[in-house]
Amino acid sequence: MYRLVFLSLILLAAGCCPKPYPSPEERTMSFKAKAGEIFENNIVIIPNSSGEVAVMYTQPERSNRNPMPTLQIVIYNLDTDEILHRATAVRGTVKWYSNEEVHIMSAPGQISRDEPMDKGYYFNVYTKETRK
């Protein structure tokens, strides 16, 4: 009986403790801007012919099988909700081809496997036309 009460108190206390990482909803960030506009956090929205686009990235849960967080990057048209492309980044450069050649590069020192998403992961998104 005492074991059951003790165990239930431990479980109750564990549920009240703050979690080290934010929830999946809190880790999802999206950026909305006109095509080609430079936006906050070093985001440059890709210029294309479809009007407004958005860049969104999320960080999935870390696990023993995947200890290094990966960023799921989605670029989509805000007018039609059409997904232009998806990509995955792990502490490096992601390249893919859409209407134009698009690169997503992580800013130096911004991605850390020990920091939660709410501390910010910043990306430069640009095309070969805007790259100098």
Output the 3-class SS for the chain: CHHHHHHHHHHHHHHHCCCCCCCCCCCCEEEEECCCCEECCCEECCCCCCCCEEEEEECCCCCCCCCCCCEEEEEEECCCCCEEEEEEECCCEEEEECCCEEEEEECCCCCCCCCCHHHCCCEEEEECCCCC
- Please state the pTM of the whole predicted model: 0.32
> Per-residue pLDDT tens for 18-69?
444 334 433 333 444 444 444 433 334 444 444 444 555 444 445 566 554 4
Name the residue ranges covered by the structural domains of the chain. Answer: 22-127
> Per-residue pLDDT tens for 94-123?
444 333 333 443 333 333 333 333 333 334
